[in-house]
Chain A
Amino acid sequence: MNEQDEDQMKKLLREALPPVENDDGPERDLWPAMLRRLDEKPAESARTGFNWAWFDGALAAGLVAVVLSFPASIPLLLYYL
């Protein structure tokens, strides 16, 4: 693709998707939405945190069971840690 082709493609692209006129900014102040987001997220993270703690516990229990059943696997596990 030469320079002329490139310019033609740019022109076509600008005609197909004209630049956005956005000097006005958002239609409303977004701070109230931001505050709601700040309030929501800690609760959501807390719930997620609980699920992960449960999952981590199950994983750790499984690992202990494997180690107790197959002590020879310890060096292999240490290698991958």
Chain B
Amino acid sequence: MQNGASNVLNQFRQGDVDAFEALFHQHQRSVYGWILRVVRNASTAEELTVETFWRIYQAHARFEPAMGFKGWARRIATHVALDWLRTKRAEIELTPEMLAEVASPAGADPAVTAEIRAKTALAFGRLPTKLRIAATLAVIEEQPQKLVAEALGITVAAVKLRVFRALRLLRNDLEKQGIKP
């Protein structure tokens, strides 16, 4: 079994499409899930999953089987999602749809109104993408910091710093709007 998996990885490294297909089917769900955590939209996540595997296939010769496929794929997926976040224009106004979407999440603090939640979401969308992606994965999705660090290609200390900066900027933004978190 171990030899079979290793064989597939070696064949993929040679550019074998069948090996690529096997890896695609094995990992598409986890890659999709990771991207969805960042972009928060199913159809965009599907599109970016295909883009991720396209980049993976293009980079097959640089793949090191000893390093494992999953972490490598996650790193590429993170960069694809980051590129997408950079191109996406941040929402600047509250819409009724947005208020309805954040109206009453399960277990929400009753003191925090839908408007505050929506303004928080908007302010979060205005943060620099590098800070936003770190906070999304580490705070909202509660992914282990080590995993986030590997996916972003930075150290755990840098993840902590980015999360701290993201929260501080978010707090400042909300305070400017008269919201005291």
User: With contacts A1-B171, A34-B50 known, is A22 near B36, CB below 8 A?
Assistant: yes
Q: A12-B112, A25-B28 are in contact. List 10 more A-B contacts (CB 8 A).
A: A16-B121, A25-B29, A26-B32, A26-B42, A26-B49, A27-B46, A30-B24, A30-B32, A34-B53, A38-B17
Q: What residues on B are CB-neighbors of A20 within 8 Å?
A: 36-37, 40, 141
Q: How far is the CA of A52 from the CA of B135 in the complex (A)?
A: 40
Q: B164 near A: Cβ within 8 Å? A: yes
Interface size of A by Cβ–Cβ distance < 8 Å? 30
A9, A12, A19, A23: the one contacting B141 at CB < 8 Å is A19
Interface size of B by Cβ–Cβ distance < 8 Å? 44
Q: B170 near A: Cβ within 8 Å? A: yes
Q: How far is the CB of A26 from chain B (nearest CB, A)?
A: 5
Cβ-defined contact, B171 with A9, below 8 A: yes
Q: What secondary structure prevails in chain B residues at the interface with A?
A: helix
Q: How far is the CA of A38 from the CA of B28 in the complex (A)?
A: 16
Q: B140 near A: Cβ within 8 Å? A: yes
User: With contacts A22-B36, A30-B49, A31-B21 known, is A13 near B140, CB below 8 A?
Assistant: yes
